[in-house]
Structure formats: C-alpha cells, structure tokens
C-alpha cells in the first residue's frame, strides 16, 4: 500500500476513480445485447407477432432481446425432464442477453438440478460469446456458487470448467474480484492451463506480489512473466517496481535466463553454451528448465558445465539430463555417459545419471548388453541389483534366444536360474 | 472544507469520466438506454456510426426474421466491414454466416492494431478462426510468407491449432515447400513442422527425407518435432520402403525403439494397402529377432480393431517369444467382446501348440454371462 503524501491528493485520486467508475458503468454492457425497454403503455396495446416455432429463430430472438419464447421452451423442457445439455442450448442465449435473469430463473428449477444446469450452460455460452460467461459470473451469485462446485461434472471440477471457455480481457477482473471469493487453490487450478491473456498475466503477477500463493512460485507465475516480458515490457517494468524484494529475485532469475538465451541464440539456432557463472546466476529451477529446452533442441547443456555448479543448483537438471536425448541425440548422450568418470559428481548424481542412461538405452535402443554394462557401474548396489534383475527378465521375455546366449556369462545363482526359467517359458 | 475546495476534485471527476467514456468501445452503445435512467450526470455519448443498422438487425431477430437480419448484415458488410465485425462481436449464433465472415474479413486493411483487436473481439470462435484465416489468406502472394506467419502467430487469438495460417501453409506446401520449411526451421518451436510435413508429402512424397533432414540440431523444439514429423511420415506414406526409411531416420537402432518402432509400424501398417501390408510383413520378417518383435507388437497391439484371424496367425507366427505371442493373444481376444467363449473352432488356426493351449486357457478364464 503506497503511503499517500497528503489528504488533498487523496481526494483528487478518489474523484478520478469515481469518474472512471461512473464512466465504466455508463458504457458497460459486457458486450451483450440489452433488452429494449419499451414504455409501459406500449406493451399494453401492441403484442408482437408470434415467432415461428424454429429453434434457431427463437434463440436468435432471445439473443436480440426477446426472451419469452425461449423461456417458455425451457419451462416445457424442465417439466418433461429433458437433460441439462438440451436445456443449456436455450438458456445460453437468454443469459447472454440478460445475465441478471439467472437469479430469478434458477428458483424455478428443482433444487437438485440447479448447479448442474448452470455448469452445463456455461460452455454453451462460451461457444457463442466468451465475454458473456465472465459477465455472468460478475452479476450472478448463483453462477459463482456453481463455478466453485467441486463435485461438478466428472471431467471438470470447480474452475476447471472454465478451461473450456475462451479467456478474454474480462477474465482476470472477475476471477480475482475479492467479492466473488475464489480461493487461491481454485485460481491456481484454473491457471494451470489458462492465463494467456495479457490482462490475466498482469493481474496474476500483481496478486502474487501482494501475497497470494505464498511459497515457491507456481509455474504460471513464470509463464505470466515471460508473456508480459515479450508483449508488454513497460507494464512489467512498472509491476516489478512494486513487487517486494523477496519475490523480485524470481523475476531476476527469469530475466537472467531470458538474457542468457538471447546471448546464446542467433537466427533461431543455439550457437553457444552458457558459462558456469551464467548458470549459477539463474537459479536451480531455471537451470533445469533451460537444460530441458536445450535437450529438446538437440543441443544439450554440457554435463561438464553442469558438474561445476554447486549441487543444489545443478541437482534438478542432472536428474532429467537424458530426457529428450534419445533417440535423436544418442551421440550426445553417449558422449555424456563416457565422460562421467572425469566429472566431479556426487555418488547420488552418478547413480541417477547411470540409472537414467541405462533405462533409456534399454527402452529406446533395445540394447540390453550396453544397458547392463552401464548398470554395472552404478554405485548403489541395491539399485544395481534391482535394475539388473528387471533388465534380464525383460530381455528373456523380449528376445529369449539372445538372452539365453548372453546368460552363459552369468555366474551360477538365482539370477541365472530365473533367466533360464523365463527363457524356457518364452520359447514359442 | 471550504466551497472552493470542491472545484478541483469535481474537475478531476469530470475529466476522468469524459476520458473513460471516450475510450470505451463503440459497440457497447446499446446500453445508452440505461444511461438515461441514471441519476448521475451523463457526459455526451457517441453512437456507433452504424447504430441504425444494428438496431434494424436486432429488431429483425426479435421479430423472428433471421433472413431479413442476414440481408441487412450483408449490406452492412459491403458498406462497412469494420462495423460489420463490431456488430458481430456481440451478436453470435446467426446461421450460415461463415461465407460472409470470410469475404468481409478478406477486405480488412492489413496489419493495423485496431483491426487485430477487432478480429480478436469476434465472439463466436468459429467465426473468429474463419475471419483470421481469410484475413491472412488475402495476403498470400502479396506479402512475404514470413510477414503473414509472424503477424498471425503473434497476434491472432484463435482457438483451433494453426487457425489463420492453414491456407498459407497449404499454398506453400504445394508451391514452395523448401522455402517455407526453412522459414519454419528459423522460427523453431513445435507443432507447425509436423502439420506442414503432412501437407507437403501429399504433393511431394519424394521430399520426405529432405524435409526431415532439414530440421537442424540446436533448434528449439527440434527433437520434439522430429518425433512428430516421423509419425506423420509413417502415417502419410504407409509403404514398407517409407517405414524402413522412417525407422532409419529415428536412429541407429530405430527399429528397436520402444517409443517409436511400434508406433511407426502401427501407423504404416494401419494405413497400408493390402499389397503394402504384405511388403511390411516381409520387411519385419527380415529383421533381427528383437527388432522384429518390437515391430510386430506395433502392428498388433496398438489401436482398438483386432486384425482378421488369418493375419493374426501370420503375424504372431513371426514372434520369437511366446510371452509376446501370449500378450497379443490376450489383447486380440479382449478386442472382440462379442467372441463367444464356447466358440473354439478358430483356435485350430493358431500357429503353435502353445498358443492354442493358451487360447483355451484365456477363454476359460473369460467372464461369460453365466459366470459373471
């Protein structure tokens, strides 16, 4: 909260805000068509011609501000026990034109159907007019209640339903409105997939700076930062100024990572590798993300560079080092493996790398011999025995003849016996 | 406070009110009715220049005459494409408008922020996608491909994947595939190369190798897209020759790949003509045991449809592991819920004694209506 310098400025600020609020109220219709208000006298003398009984015509009339026929349809459908999916197609245009009507209408629906019906209608509205969905939430307490329903449809709980609705520039204002009371957890769930709009990205960062989602920042914080940085850096700069110091370090990491990527890229290609110091500066999460992106780009971060970072910074990147390298970068993977002995890694890291290389060699190359060689180097004896057993058994099932011939090199014992047993079972 | 002290706050109020109202979008003028009822002072409001057309259209809809609404809309579109889309922003659902949306969007001026915003405000998703597609396509051959791609991928808020650039890609796939692939490679990223590849090989199947090879190392998304391009290759060029080339492109032990060998074999086999299926089977039979087994599992285990019995027998006879034959048998039976457990005649056609015995076992264990 910014400390205001004097009472006079506060009054001016309040006046300005009042002006904006009034202006917004006067010009806001949420993009919906409002019903034309006919003077009371007129409706008494002129009845409009009846509509043809055509669903499309009736729905369009409802959208344009003539609700009676569509409402009658819904009443009839409720009485005959029609499914929500059908009723929703009539309810959607009505609520687009007149979201306030929901509070009255919903009382005419049997109580046990109300939430489900509204949840079925939301995607129908979204198909026609995304803004209207957010407008509905803004105006209808019942809709908000339905949005929070965790036992919703089997596939979409709570705000997940709104994954099916396009996000608009109205979304953030509605979701983060304290009066509507969506919880941190619910919003985090929504933002797992959504958050593409710049207004949302901005609001997400503001809310986080103000203390929402305390602790390690969720993924969407990073996504929001990157989005704003790309599309609206001026707003981001302003926002960063108002972010508490402790949280700003994350932004600094993102920025350092972005600069680093730009430094190492040219014309769509990665042309150089970061230094140890470069990586140290961006923190473990960013190092891990960068490592993954580089592996996916078929130019992995050199393992020798990672190995020079402090263990707490390099750990997550090391764990996933071989992801994306098989099969298209098998040469790079092989080079990394052959360099393991020269690198200053912890036993746990060596174990993790060997395990992952051995598994991928087996899985992606069908090379049991090489996989077992790698397993043989594992420092963790228990893990090694487990891997060897599983690899041999798999080999015996997948290629019994070859497994049997190589089993001749095994010492007499339980493993060899087991392999021979499975080979026998697997011989056609 | 002294009376004079109110002057400045009031001025600020009026100023911010006026500024707010002036910058609000013209399409929301429909709510001016409610402004009349407001007790607060109203600033002068601007009606949309086509307000009367908007009113007529809505009146036609309320009267149950969508045909007339459409006719007025068509005239509006011809006269004032921007107003047409302004109205469309808030009037979704009128049927049979796709053509008019496309025609009108094509006439909008290229590369202006207000136009981008206008298109992104179209409520109905399908219209929005159509509008962007048409808007971009109107520039094919007029603006450089890269410019069209850049504008649409960065600005268009479309819903379907690649909406807006699909026509451009199709055009490029037919007429200038190498140049466009080079463009995609410069952009990097995922998802477009795979689709483009599929479009190209329809016209130029001989380019399959070159396209795949063109994806460079050190390119964001390269390994991700390579996998998808090869999958598209297996599916679109379902011949034995192409399958083997696809597996070779996968790596030195491509035919052994747990992630890809089975998948690509399935794609090729599933889409192949009977003649090519025959060749694929021959190619599989020529592989070393482990590769053969991996490819066979691709042909047998993916997908929901069971292969016909004779084919099943033939394929499973090529396995070098009874364990794998057993898995294939179990799945094959499971994919035929209608197979009566009492029907055993088909078992005689299975290639080995062990398989026949296993088939009996599996049918014994299968829940029947009686023992469920």
Rg (CA), chain A: 31
* Residue whose entry in the numeric block shows the structure tokens 């109203």: B42
Supply the DSSP symbol for B157: -
B59 touches chain A (CB under 8 A): yes
Q: What is the pLDDT of residue B43?
A: 39
A270 touches chain B (CB under 8 A): yes
Phi and psi at residue A362, in whole multiples of 5°? -70, -50
Burial group, residue A266, by CB count within 10 angstroms (0-12, 13-18, 19+): exposed
Dist. CA B238–CA A303, nearest whole Å: 39
Contacts of A140 (CB under 8 A, 6+ apart): A99, A100, A102, A103
Cross-chain CB nearest to A29 (options B12, B31, B289): B31
Cross-chain CB nearest to A57 (options B25, B64, B216): B64
Dist. CA A310–CA A287, nearest whole Å: 12
B27 touches chain A (CB under 8 A): yes
Q: What would the pLDDT profile of B287-341 be if each residue is shown by its tens digit?
A: 999 999 999 999 999 988 999 999 999 999 999 999 999 999 999 999 998 888 8
Cβ–Cβ under 8 Å, residues A426 and A397: yes
Peptide bond into A327 cis (omega under 30): yes
Dist. CA B23–CA A428, nearest whole Å: 78
| Cβ neighbours of B85 in A, within 8 Å | none
Dist. CA A421–CA A392, nearest whole Å: 12
CB contact (8 A) between residue B224 and residue A324: yes
Supply the DSSP symbol for A178: T
CA A107 to chain centre: 35
- Where are the strands (E) in A274-399, listed by range? none
Give the mean pLDDT of A53-59: 93
State how far residue A207 is from chain B, nearest Cα, in angstroms. 25
Tokens of B131: 């509008």
Dist. CA B205–CA B187, nearest whole Å: 24
Q: What is the pLDDT of residue A400?
A: 97
Q: What is the pLDDT of residue B38?
A: 33
Q: What is the pLDDT of residue B92?
A: 77
Q: What would the pLDDT profile of A145-198 be if each residue is shown by its tens digit?
A: 999 998 755 678 899 999 988 888 899 999 999 999 999 999 999 999 999 889
Give the mean pLDDT of A39-56: 69
Q: What is the pLDDT of residue A160?
A: 92
| Cβ neighbours of A428 in B, within 8 Å | 319-322, 325, 352, 354-355
pLDDT band at residue A39 under the 50/70/90 scheme: very low
Give the mean pLDDT of A308-319: 96
HSE toward the beta carbon, residue B361, CA cutoff 13 A = 10
Dist. CA B296–CA B315, nearest whole Å: 7
Dist. CA A101–CA A65, nearest whole Å: 12
What are the CA-CA distances from residue A339 to residues A304, A315, A353 (Å)? 8, 18, 11
Cross-chain CB nearest to B35 (options A26, A57, A298): A26
Give the mean pLDDT of A363-387: 96
Chain A window 195-224: which residues touch B at a Cβ cutoff of 8 Å?
none
Dist. CA B372–CA B362, nearest whole Å: 15
What are the CA-CA distances from residue B159 to residues A70, B120, B166, B293 (Å)? 29, 11, 13, 41
| Cβ neighbours of B252 in A, within 8 Å | 330, 365
Chain B window 205-264: which residues touch A at a Cβ cutoff of 8 Å?
216-224, 226-227, 250-254, 256-260
Q: Identify any residues that bridge with B143 across adjacent strands, giving them in sequence order.
A: B140
Percent of chain A with pLDDT over 70: 88
State how far residue A133 is from chain B, nearest Cα, in angstroms. 11
Burial group, residue B106, by CB count within 10 angstroms (0-12, 13-18, 19+): middle
Cross-chain CB nearest to A12 (options B9, B59, B63): B9
A37 touches chain B (CB under 8 A): yes
Q: What is the pLDDT of residue A7?
A: 46
Dist. CA A146–CA A137, nearest whole Å: 10
Q: pLDDT digit of tens for each residue in chain B (372 aa)?
A: 444 455 555 555 555 554 555 444 444 443 443 333 333 333 344 578 888 999 999 999 999 999 999 999 999 999 999 999 988 877 777 888 999 999 999 999 999 999 999 998 888 889 999 999 999 999 999 999 999 999 999 899 888 889 999 999 999 999 999 999 999 999 887 889 999 999 999 999 999 999 999 999 999 999 999 999 999 999 999 999 999 999 999 999 999 999 999 999 999 999 999 999 999 999 999 999 999 999 999 999 998 899 999 999 999 999 999 999 999 999 999 999 888 888 899 999 999 999 999 999 999 887 766 555
3-state SS assignment for residue B122: coil
What are the CA-CA distances from residue A362 to residues A96, A359, B205, B279 (Å)? 57, 5, 33, 28
Tokens of A367: 């090379």
Phi and psi at residue B105, in whole multiples of 5°? -60, -35
Closest by Cα among A156, A159, A96, A94 to A126: A96
CB contact (8 A) between residue B93 and residue A19: no
Dist. CA A19–CA A27, nearest whole Å: 12
Contacts of B178 (CB under 8 A, 6+ apart): B207, B210, B214
Q: What would the pLDDT profile of A249-264 be if each residue is shown by its tens digit?
A: 999 999 999 999 999 9
- Packing angle of the helix pair A219-231, A198-209 (nearest 10 deg): 130
Phi and psi at residue B200, in whole multiples of 5°? -70, -45
Q: Write a three-state SS string for B164-179.
A: CCHHHHHHHHHHCHHH
């Amino acid at each position: 909260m910014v400390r205001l310098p004097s009472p006079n400025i506060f009054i001016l600020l309040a006046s300005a805000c009042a002006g904006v609020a009034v202006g917004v109220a006067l010009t806001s219709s949420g993009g919906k068509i409002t019903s034309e208000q006919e003077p009371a006298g007129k409706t008494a003398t002129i009845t409009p011609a009846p509509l043809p009984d055509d669903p499309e015509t009736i729905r369009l009339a409802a959208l344009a501000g003539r609700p009676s026929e569509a409402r009658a349809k819904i009443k009839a459908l409720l009485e005959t026990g029609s499914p929500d999916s059908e009723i929703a197609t009539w309810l959607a245009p009505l609520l687009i034109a007149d979201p306030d009507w929901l509070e009255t209408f919903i009382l005419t629906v049997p109580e046990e159907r109300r939430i489900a019906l509204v949840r079925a209608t939301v995607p129908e509205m979204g198909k026609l007019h995304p803004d209207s969905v957010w407008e509905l939430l803004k105006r209808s307490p019942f809709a908000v209640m339905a949005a929070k329903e965790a036992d919703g449809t089997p596939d979409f709980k709570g705000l997940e339903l709104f994954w099916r609705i396009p996000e608009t520039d109205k979304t953030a204002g509605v979701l983060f409105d304290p009066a509507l009371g969506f919880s941190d957890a619910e919003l985090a769930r929504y933002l797992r997939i959504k958050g593409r709009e710049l207004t949302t990205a901005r609001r997400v960062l503001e809310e986080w700076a103000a203390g929402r989602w305390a602790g390690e920042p969720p993924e969407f914080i990073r996504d929001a930062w990157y989005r704003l940085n790309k599309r609206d850096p001026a707003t981001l700069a302003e926002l960063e100024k108002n972010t508490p110091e402790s949280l700003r370090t994350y932004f600094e990491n993102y920025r350092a990572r972005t600069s680093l990527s730009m430094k190492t890229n040219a014309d769509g290609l990665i042309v150089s590798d970061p230094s140890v110091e470069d990586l140290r500066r961006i923190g473990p999460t960013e190092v891990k993300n960068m490592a993954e992106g580089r592996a996916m780009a078929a130019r992995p971060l050199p393992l020798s560079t990672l190995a020079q970072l402090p263990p707490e910074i390099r750990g997550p990147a090391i764990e996933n080092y071989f992801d994306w390298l098989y099969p298209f970068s098998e040469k790079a993977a092989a080079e990394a493996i052959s360099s393991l002995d020269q690198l200053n890694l912890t036993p746990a890291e060596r174990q993790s790398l060997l395990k992952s290389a051995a598994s991928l060699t087996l899985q992606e190359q069908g090379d049991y011999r090489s996989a077992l060689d790698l397993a043989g180097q594992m420092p963790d004896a228990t893990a090694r025995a487990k891997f060897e057993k599983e690899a041999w058994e798999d080999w015996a099932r997948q290629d019994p003849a070859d497994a049997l011939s190589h089993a001749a090199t095994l010492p007499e014992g339980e493993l060899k016996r087991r392999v021979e047993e499975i080979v026998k079972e697997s011989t056609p | 406070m002294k009376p004079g002290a109110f002057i400045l706050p009031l001025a600020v109020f009026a100023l911010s009110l006026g500024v707010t109202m002036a910058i609000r979008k013209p399409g929301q003028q429909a709510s001016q009715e409610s402004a009349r009822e407001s007790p607060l002072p109203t600033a002068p409001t601007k009606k949309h220049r086509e307000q009367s057309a908007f009113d007529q259209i809505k009146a036609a809809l309320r009267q149950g005459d969508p045909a007339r609404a459409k006719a007025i809309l068509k005239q509006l579109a011809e006269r004032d494409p921007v107003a047409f889309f302004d109205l469309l922003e808030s009037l979704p659902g009128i049927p049979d408008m796709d053509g008019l949306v496309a025609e009108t969007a094509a006439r909008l001026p290229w590369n202006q922020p207000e136009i981008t915003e206008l298109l992104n405000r179209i409520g109905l998703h399908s219209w929005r996608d159509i509008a962007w597609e048409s808007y971009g396509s109107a520039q094919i051959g007029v603006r450089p491909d890269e410019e069209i791609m850049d504008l649409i991928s960065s600005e268009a808020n479309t819903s379907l994947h690649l909406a807006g650039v699909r026509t451009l890609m199709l055009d490029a796939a037919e007429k200038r595939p190498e140049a466009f692939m080079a463009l995609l490679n410069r952009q990097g990223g995922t998802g477009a190369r795979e689709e483009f590849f599929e479009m190209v090989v329809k016209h130029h199947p001989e380019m399959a190798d070159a396209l795949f090879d063109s994806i460079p190392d050190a390119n964001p998304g390269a390994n991700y897209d390579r996998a998808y391009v090869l999958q598209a290759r297996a599916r679109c060029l379902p011949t034995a020759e192409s399958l083997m080339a696809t597996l070779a492109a996968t790596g030195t032990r491509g035919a052994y790949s747990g992630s890809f060998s089975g998948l690509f074999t399935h794609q090729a086999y599933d889409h192949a003509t009977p003649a090519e299926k025959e060749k694929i089977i021959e190619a599989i039979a020529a592989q070393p045991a482990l590769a053969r087994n991996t490819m066979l599992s691709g042909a047998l285990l993916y997908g929901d449809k069971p292969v016909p019995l004779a084919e099943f027998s033939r394929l499973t006879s090529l396995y070098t592991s009874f364990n794998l034959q057993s898995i294939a048998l179990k799945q094959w039976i499971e994919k035929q819920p209608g197979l009566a457990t009492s029907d055993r005649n088909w078992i005689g056609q299975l290639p080995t004694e062990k398989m026949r015995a296993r088939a009996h076992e599996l049918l014994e264990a299968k829940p029947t209506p009686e023992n469920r």
